[in-house]
Amino acid sequence: MNIKKVGVVGCGLMGHGIVQVAAQGGCEVIALETEQAFLDKGLGRIQKSVAKLAEKQVEKGKLDEAQAKAFVEGTLGRIKGSTNKADLADCDLVIEAIVENLDVKKALFAELGKLCMADTIFASNTSSFPIGEMADASGRPARFVGLHFFNPVQLMRLVEVVRTDKTDENVFAAARAFGESCGKTPVSCKDTPGFVVNRLLVPYMTQALLMLERGDATKEDIDTAMQLGCGYPMGPLTLTDYVGLDTTLFILQGWKERYPNEPAFEVPKILERLVSEGKLGRKTGEGFYKWDGDKKS
């Protein structure tokens, strides 16, 4: 199973990065969005990111100017934007990176299951929902995996490859090979809540939010403590701003509903409040911190 043409549904925070690394790996990529304006925003981010990566390679002496130009043009030349799902019909692999809402994801896969060729492999980038439920909704559970990339996709080196009891071994192997072609190290995961990383990371972020809510420490001190005390690249509140407060809330609400007795899955009130105020983190310019573009202001 050789994956040459990839569709990515959703060109937001994660989707645009997945489009980019798949194209960098040599695949033809269709980036699908609901509206042209969202598509343009995602494609604009890819242009900036590819240019930045090329510039850094030149600075490090790994590419000369001509090679950097070829890298940028080659990557961008393999990407095509679309707002028409029919363009995904002949993809070898379609990866979903839309809002963290299981019903919306299941409806999308049911539609794609009818529209895409029988061989197309489906993957979800969900942070928290069961891959098996989406696989069943798609009508092709043997050809379904989780491909969980990390934010920012261009820089984070991991991809979790999730299999269910019904995933075909060859499909799983093809998904791992695709992850490697994107420059990522794959780890194999079972279809458990949060897989490996988020089962550990999201409860940790939650504890930091609860600590802030109780007034145990300031947000700056919590972040500094984890950066300097544990060597984490960013503290948990900055990271929540980075991930998106809405996405973090959807993850926790979904888990709380399914596993009401699991103490690690708490929904901090402060998270509900900020989301209701439209403070979704870096993407809206304010979350726990204020942001000016990509940097804290």
Bridge partners (DSSP) of residue 240 are: none
Does 134 participate in binding ligand NAD (rule CB under 6 A)?
no
H/E segment holding residue 155? none
Does 34 participate in binding ligand NAD (rule CB under 6 A)?
yes
Nearest partner of 255 among 136, 102, 138, 99, judged by Cα: 102
Question: Residue with CB nearest ligand NAD?
Answer: 12
Q: Which does 9 bind (CB under 5 to 8 A by kind): ligand NAD, ligand CAA, none?
A: ligand NAD
Does 98 participate in binding ligand NAD (rule CB under 6 A)?
yes
Judged by CB under 6 A, which stretch of 7-15, 51-59, 167-175, 267-275 contacts ligand NAD? 7-15
Q: Which two tokens stand for residue 150?
A: 């990390």
Bridge partners (DSSP) of residue 121 are: 93
Long-range Cβ pairs for the range 293-297 (8 Å, 24+): 296/238
Q: Which does 154 bind (CB under 5 to 8 A by kind): ligand CAA, ligand NAD, none?
A: ligand CAA
> Going residue by residue from 220 to 249, which x/- string records binding to ligand NAD, judged by CB under 6 A?
-----------------------xx--x--
Does 81 participate in binding ligand NAD (rule CB under 6 A)?
no
Nearer to ligand NAD, 63 or 279 (CB): 279
Q: Can you tell me which of 8, 13, 27, 135 binds ligand NAD, judged by CB under 6 A?
A: 13
Nearest partner of 46 among 83, 73, 20, judged by Cα: 20
> Which phi and psi angles does 188 have, rounded to 5°?
-85, 135
Q: Can you tell me which of 3, 9, 22, 274 binds ligand NAD, judged by CB under 6 A?
A: 9
Confirm if 138 and 112 have CB atoms less than 8 A apart: yes
Bridge partners (DSSP) of residue 9 are: 32, 96
Active site residues: 127, 148, 160, 198
Q: Can you tell me which of 24, 49, 126, 238 binds ligand NAD, judged by CB under 6 A?
A: 126
Question: Residue with CB nearest ligand CAA?
Answer: 127
Q: Which does 31 bind (CB under 5 to 8 A by kind): ligand CAA, ligand NAD, none?
A: none
Nearest partner of 119 among 87, 142, 149, 145, judged by Cα: 142
Sign of CA dihedral 206, 211, 212, 213: positive
